[in-house]
Amino acid sequence: MKHVLRTVLALAIVGLLFAQPALVGAAGEDAKPATPTKAADKPATKSTTPAGIQQEHVAQRLKLLEERFIELAEALKENEPDQAARLIEALQHAKQNLLRHRMLEIAKQLDGGELQQASDKQKQVTEDLRRLIDILTKDPSRLDELQARIDQLERWKAQVQDLIDDENRIKNDTDNIGKKDEVLANLDKQIADLENVIKAQKGVMGKTQDATKQGPRAVERVTGDQEAVRKKTEDLAKEVAGQKGTPSDGSGKPSDASGKPSDGSGKPSDGSGKPSDGSGKPSDGSGKPSDGSGQPSDGSGQPSAGSPSQGQSGPSPKSPAGSMQKAAEHQKAAEDNLAKGKGKAAQADEAAALNDLKDALDKLKAERDRIARLPKEAFDEIAKDQDNTADKAGDLQKEMAKASQSGGSQGQPGGQPGDPSGGGESQPGQQQVQNAQQKMQQASKQLKGKDKGGASKSEQEAIDELKQAQDEIEQLLAQLREEMQEETLAALEGRFREMLEIQKGLTAVTSDVEEKRKAGDWDRRQQLLVASLSKEERQLAGMADQALLIIIEDGTTVVFPRIVERLRDDLVAVSDLLRGEKTGEYTHTLQKEIEITLEELIAALEKAQEQLQSQSGQSGQSGQQQQPPLVPESAELKLLRAAQLRVNRLTKSFDKTRPKSDALDPALAREIDNITRRQADVASMAESIIEGYYQPNIRPIDEVPLPR
């Protein structure tokens, strides 16, 4: 409810905005007494022409609005100071730009027949009214603040992951001191196995491509082939991550695969990435390659049993095993699509899987080259590497501390819900990063003293601290993403409501012009007015285009962006029709369809906000949950049905208004193509829902003046 009062005032200003364009057209009418009205409704006027009188009435309405600003600001000052400040800012804008005074000057020019001068000043006043609407309706500071905070946390999360990967690499090197030949042999085997998996995946892709041409039944028969390759990928990922086929803790006994570090005696641990018992078989962590920058996968991002970081299961996304795990997920998605006969969707998943496999291969080879360059006894080199990583952790901790001292993120106010950034409190994960740095410094000292077991234990403790830090950051990120989605939905709804009010005004003026045209009242004044309407429709197309970019960037919906895309194209089409002075039934019908589309989009956004509120807080319980779609699937299906009904109505309307002759002027010929494309677009949207993905079709709008 916090934006309701400002929105109501903004809509009142929209009324003023669309009172302006019709004034110049009325200025040339013969001076005649104004229609009698109640004194309470309209004040006494000095103007003598209808246009001048109307302009004075607009100025009077603005005066009443200014008084309302003051009253509301005073009422909100105590409980909602931010909203009161926004109202005062709008009032100051109106006064500084002398809006009411300029409106009265325009009235005098209209009375004197100075149409061009009046028109120029009206355009300036119109732009100032638009800025006034922006002040009242747009709240970029909140969205910018949220986005800045999310960006900051995302950056910290990535830095923590880099520290985890670095520390895993260092621990891996520590555990494998003296085992260089075994590590290299193991890496060579893994590289060869992965190359075979890549070859098999390419074979499946070829089969899918051929089957897609033959039909769904043929596509279904490829499912088993993809399943077999997926299982090989998963097995190899586990082997690379050190989760199976591992020997014991050094005594030949099997490990418990808990991933716990050694006991400090120097013996290899059961799952920490330490070498095998010397049999030549790798342990569950020995020699496991890094994430591409040299980081190993034996513990990258994978919590040990009893680790506080239970939410971060599986290998690091940056590790070779992580890339293979991603490949397996894409392969499983391809399987599902193959089983349903969806050849195109399966091909997209298979291509993604192949890219992940190639990425894993590059990382394995990079790790092999790095290990080959290390000496067999590399305590000093590893200690130096550990010092560098500790310095990185220290730099991150200092950055977090600085953000805490400033009371927020990057100069933005702190104190978000669940956000400890306000009031100088520590940032999420800050204490754990500091603890990890201390463990790293301890490990460096132990390495310099050639205490391999002690260093390995300290390194594992540093990793565990960093995982806790990562979890804290992710929990806050989940909350902020949910809040960001709420703000995005509200912003889109506000934009579409503003567009709807503007479109209603344009539709009414267009209808009025057509009535005058039928009555034989068509002259230069009407032509200028229609040209102005065309420009206004073009501006609405720009607003739709901006909304479309926001929706596509969100990337969670299939039908919703296509509807907005078609809305934008309809607005351009109406602008073209008006530019060609087509103000008849078809143009009016298309304008009404635009209004209906906006109402449907607003309804979908309202439903999305209701659903988001009912699920509020659930995403914060698990930072790993997938982001929900911007609007629910049920709302998307309603939009799709409405789009088909819209095609039906437009087809009937065009058929009723088309000329009897076969020849059509260019504008109407384009509309036939437009309806044809619209029907094809509905079919494409239905296919997109089935396939489950959306390919944006962003086409530039020539000469679209974007709203300020």
Mark whether 548 and 672 lie in a shared domain.
Answer: yes
Cα pseudo-dihedral 478, 483, 489, 494, rounded to 10: -160
CB atoms within 10 A of CB 181: 11
- Using an 8 Å Cβ cutoff, are 516 and 15 in contact? no
> Quick check: 506 and 526 in contact, CB under 8 A?
no
Whether 310 and 195 share a structural domain: yes
Q: Is position 44 within any domain?
A: yes
- Categorize the per-residue pLDDT at 218 as very low, low, confident or very high, splitting at 50, 70 and 90: very high
Rounded-to-integer distance, Cα 288 and Cα 467, Å: 20
Higher confidence at residue 166 or residue 318? Answer: 166
* Nearest residue to 565 (alpha-carbon basis) of 536, 523, 591, 601: 601
What integer pLDDT is reported at residue 90 of this predicted model?
74
Whether 209 is in a domain gets the answer yes
Q: What is the pLDDT of residue 660?
A: 66
Asked whether residue 267 is assigned to any structural domain, the reply reads: no
> Which residue, 207, 233, 205, 206, is CA-closest to 221?
207
How far is Cα 597 from Cα 500, in angstroms, rounded to an integer? 9
Please give the residue that has the higher pLDDT: either 104 or 664.
104
% of the chain beyond a pLDDT of 90:
31
Distance CA 229, CA 235 (A): 10
What residues contact 56, with CB distance under 8 A and at least 6 apart?
Answer: 43, 45, 46, 47, 103, 104, 107
Contact between 525 and 605 (Cβ < 8 Å) = no
- Using 50, 70 and 90 to split pLDDT, how confident is the model at 626? low
Residues 44, 48, 50: CA angle, nearest 5 degrees: 90
Q: How far is CA 167 from the centre of its chain?
A: 32
Report which residue type is found at 616: S
Residues 129 and 206 in one domain: no
Domain end call among 138, 161, 191: 138
Q: Is 628 helix (H, G, I), strand (E, B) or coil?
A: coil
Taking residues 606-620, what's their average pLDDT? Answer: 71
Q: Is residue 104 part of a domain?
A: yes
> 76-85, 334-343, 460-469, 535-544: which has the highest mean pLDDT?
460-469
Q: Could you say which of 375, 402, 422 is where a domain stops?
A: 375
pLDDT tens profile 380-437: 889 999 999 999 999 999 999 988 876 554 434 344 433 434 445 789 999 999 999 9
Query: Where on the phi/psi map is residue 423: left (φ > 0), alpha (ψ -120 to 50), or beta?
Result: left
Confidence at residue 674, expressed as pLDDT on a 0 to 100 scale? 77
Do 394 and 366 lie in a common domain? no
**CA 96, CA 128: separation in Å to the nearest integer?**
11
State the pLDDT confidence band at 545, using cuts at 50, 70 and 90.
confident
Q: What six digits make up the tokens of 245?
A: 């086929």
Same domain? For 117 and 167 the reply is no
Alpha-carbon distance of 524 to 62, in angstroms, equals 30
Both 548 and 640 in a single domain? yes
Is the domain of 209 the same as that of 128?
no
**What tokens appear for 175 in the block?**
């555990």
pLDDT, residue 595, reads: 94
Report the pLDDT value the prediction gives residue 139, as an integer from 0 to 100.
52
Task: Specify the range with the lowest mean pLDDT, choosing from 91-95, 418-422, 629-633.
Answer: 418-422
pLDDT at residue 222 greater than cutoff 70: yes
Q: Looking at the structure, do residues 186 and 126 belong to the same domain, yes or no?
A: no
- Let me know whether 30 and 134 are in one domain: yes
Domain extent for 189? 181-245+300-375
Please give the DSSP secondary-structure letter assigned to residue 303. P
Name the residue with higher pLDDT: 441 or 373.
441
Residue where the block lists tokens 């709302």: 635
* Number of domains the chain contains: 4
The better pLDDT of the pair 461, 11 is held by 461
Instruction: Report the pLDDT value the prediction gives residue 691, as an integer from 0 to 100.
Output: 60
**Mean of the pLDDT values across residues 95-104?**
76
Same domain (yes/no): 360, 414:
no
Least confident of 227-236, 318-327, 558-567, 587-596: 558-567
Q: Is residue 594 part of a domain?
A: yes
In a domain, residue 667? The reply is: yes
User: At 117, which CATH number?
Assistant: 1.20.120
What mean pLDDT, rounded, does the chain reach? 75
Segment 556-567 shows an average pLDDT of 82
Give dist(CA 525, CA 153) in Å, integer: 57
The answer to whether residue 552 is domain-embedded is: yes
Question: Cα(438)–Cα(454) distance, rounded to whole angstroms?
Answer: 14
Rounded Cα distance, 141 and 411, in Å: 12
**Selection from 177-186, 485-494, 505-514, 614-623 with the highest mean pLDDT:** 505-514
**C-beta of residue 277 within 8 angstroms of C-beta of residue 292:** no
Q: What is the pLDDT of residue 188?
A: 95
Rounded CA-CA distance 564/547 in Å is: 8
Distance between alpha carbon 318 and the CA centroid of its chain, in Å?
23
Q: Which of 162-171, 358-367, 380-389, 415-424 has the lowest mean pLDDT?
A: 415-424
Residue identified by tokens 């190639």 is 358
**DSSP 3-state of 112:** coil
pLDDT of residue 223: 95
Write down the pLDDT at residue 571: 93
What's the whole-model pTM score?
0.57
Residues 322/196, Cβ–Cβ less than 8 Å: no
Higher pLDDT, residue 84 or 192 = 192
Given this model, what pLDDT does residue 135 score?
A: 65
In which region does residue 244 sit, left (phi positive, over 0), alpha (psi from -120 to 50) or beta (all else)? Answer: beta
Q: What pLDDT does residue 682 have?
A: 81
- The end-to-end CA distance of the chain, in Å, is 25
Per-residue confidence (pLDDT) for residue 419, from 0 to 100: 45
Which residues are CB-contacts of 429 (< 8 A; sequence separation ≥ 6)? 156, 160, 400, 468, 469, 470, 471, 472, 473
H or E element in which residue 11 lies: helix 4-17
Query: Which single residue is written with the structure tokens 């609407």?
Result: 133
Instruction: Specify if 672 maps to a domain.
Output: yes
Token output for 432? 């754990």
Is 80 exceeded by the pLDDT of residue 266?
Answer: no
Q: Tell whether 567 and 686 lie within a shared domain.
A: yes
Q: What is the pLDDT of residues 496-523, one digit of tens each?
A: 998 999 999 999 999 999 998 888 888 8
Q: Each residue of 675-699: b (16+ CB within 10 Å) or e? A: beebeebbeebbebbebeebeeeee
Residue 26 has pLDDT above 70, yes or no: no
pLDDT score of 134 more than 80: no
Domain boundary among 375, 394, 414: 375
Mean pLDDT of 675-702: 65
H-type alpha helices, 449-558: 452-518, 524-554
Note the pLDDT tens digit of each residue in 242-260.
754 333 333 333 333 333 3
Does 476 share its domain with 575?
no
Would you state the pLDDT for residue 290? 38
Q: Shortest CA distance to 408 belongs to which of 427, 383, 389?
A: 427
